[in-house]
Structure formats: C-alpha cells, structure tokens
Amino acid sequence: MRKDRATRHEVEVDEIDIDDTSPIKTDYRQELLKILRGMPPTSFEKFSLLLLRENDFEDLKLTGGSKDEGIDGSGILRINPVVSFRVLFQCKRYKEDKKVIRTQVADFRNSMLGRAEKGIFITTSYFTRDAEMEANRDGAPPIELVDADKLVAMIENSELGLREVKTYEIDREFFKQYQER
C-alpha cells in the first residue's frame, strides 16, 4: 500500500492462508493471482472495493449478498470539482480457465441501467471476445473490463498488498577476471 494512504483506507478481509515461508518467487504475479483466486467471493469483493478506493473512487459501498441484483458495489469517480460519475461494479473470482462470457456482461449492464453512468467488471480470470464486444457495444452504457492482467497492474500501481524487494543480478563480466588462470 502506498505509504501516504496506508492508514487512510482499510477494509476488513477474511483471513486467507498464505505461505510466508516460501522463497521469493520469480513471478510474483502468478502467486498474487493464486491468492486472489483463493479468496472467498465476499473477501474478493471487499478487496476490489479497497483497490478502487486506492484508485481514487469515493463513497464506495458493497451491496453484496445473494440479493445484490447483479451489483456487488457502487461508488463515485470524481473527474474534477464539477464532473463525477456514479459507478457500479461487479466482481467474479474465477480460476484462469473459466472466462467471463457475454451474457454475464449483458446481465450486469441490465442491472446497472438507470442506476449509474458507468460499470466496472472485475475478474481474476479473463473475458471472452464476445464479452469484450458487449462491454463496448455502441449506444449502451460503457463497462470497463478488468481482467487478471489489468487487476495485477492496478495492484502493482497502488502497491496494495505488495512489498518492494531489492534484488541483485550477477555481473559475469566482473568475475571473468578471476576465472582466468
């Protein structure tokens, strides 16, 4: 979490089993996605709310529950002192091989009609090509798609749940001078 925001935004999340004893991974992104995909669905919704808060969304609320009518949360994105957008979001914590399909994006849009100007669909997986086309359909309220790659990029940008690690690379040219006999 960015140091300037460390105490500003905290959301309670259910405990998740994370192996702190494992060595440093060369690809922490895959490990991060594994953690996200292992969260209970409600915890992933809470995490997504915190991530949106870290990206300057305001008045964020979770609707949650089985009667959420396809909306997991809402918030405000303020562009400037005069312009703001009401935003609704939907979260799907899926394994990599289960993609979000067109009908899920269309159902989300139908749920948000008349309630918000913009939608955000967040998943730990990916979207089918038809889902992407549905999200950008002309004449319909736009829906931003946040797939696993974009989700990781947002987490990296906000440094949420990540610690910077210093590492070294061996300068092989330097050591060549000591290998000659």
Torsion angles phi and psi, residue 143, rounded to 5: -125, 120
- 130, pLDDT greater than 70: yes
Other CB atoms within a 10 A radius of the CB of residue 69 amount to 11
- CA separation for the pair 52, 9 (Å, rounded): 11
Measured in whole angstroms, how far is the alpha carbon of residue 122 from the centre of its chain? Answer: 6
Taking residues 5-11, report their average pLDDT: 43
Please tell me the least confidently modeled range out of 24-28, 147-151, 164-168: 24-28
Note the pLDDT tens digit of each residue in 78-128. 999 999 999 999 999 999 899 999 999 999 999 998 899 899 999 999 999
Q: What confidence score (pLDDT) does residue 100 get?
A: 97
- 20, pLDDT greater than 70: no
Structural domain that includes position 151 = 42-176
In a domain, 9, yes or no: no
81 contacts: CB under 8 Å, gap ≥ 6:
none
DSSP state for residue 60 in the 8-state scheme: E
Name the 3-class secondary structure at 113. coil
In a domain, 155, yes or no: yes
In a domain, 66, yes or no: yes
- 10, pLDDT greater than 90: no
Q: What confidence score (pLDDT) does residue 67 get?
A: 64
Instruction: Please name the residue that has the structure tokens 């959301």.
Output: 11
Question: Which of 32, 12, 13, 14 has the alpha carbon at shortest distance from 22?
Answer: 32
In the chain, the number of structural domains is: 1
In a domain, 105, yes or no: yes
125 contacts: CB under 8 Å, gap ≥ 6:
92, 94, 95, 96, 97, 98, 99, 100, 147, 148
In a domain, 25, yes or no: no
User: What integer best gives the mean pLDDT of the chain?
Assistant: 85
In a domain, 169, yes or no: yes
In a domain, 117, yes or no: yes
Instruction: Please name the residue that has the structure tokens 């909306």.
Output: 71
Share of the chain above pLDDT 90, in %: 64
Please tell me the least confidently modeled range out of 15-29, 30-44, 50-64, 91-105: 15-29
Q: What is the CATH number of the domain that holds 54?
A: 3.40.1350.10
Q: Name the residue with higher pLDDT: 165 or 144.
A: 144
Q: What confidence score (pLDDT) does residue 1 get?
A: 41
Name the 3-class secondary structure at 8. coil
In a domain, 149, yes or no: yes
Crossing angle of the two packed helices 41-54 and 148-158, in degrees rounded to 10: 50
Please tell me the least confidently modeled range out of 17-21, 57-61, 64-68, 174-178: 17-21
**pLDDT interval class at 16 (50, 70, 90):** very low
Helix spans in the chain (H): 28-38, 41-54, 102-112, 129-135, 148-158, 172-176
Crossing angle of the two packed helices 28-38 and 148-158, in degrees rounded to 10: 110
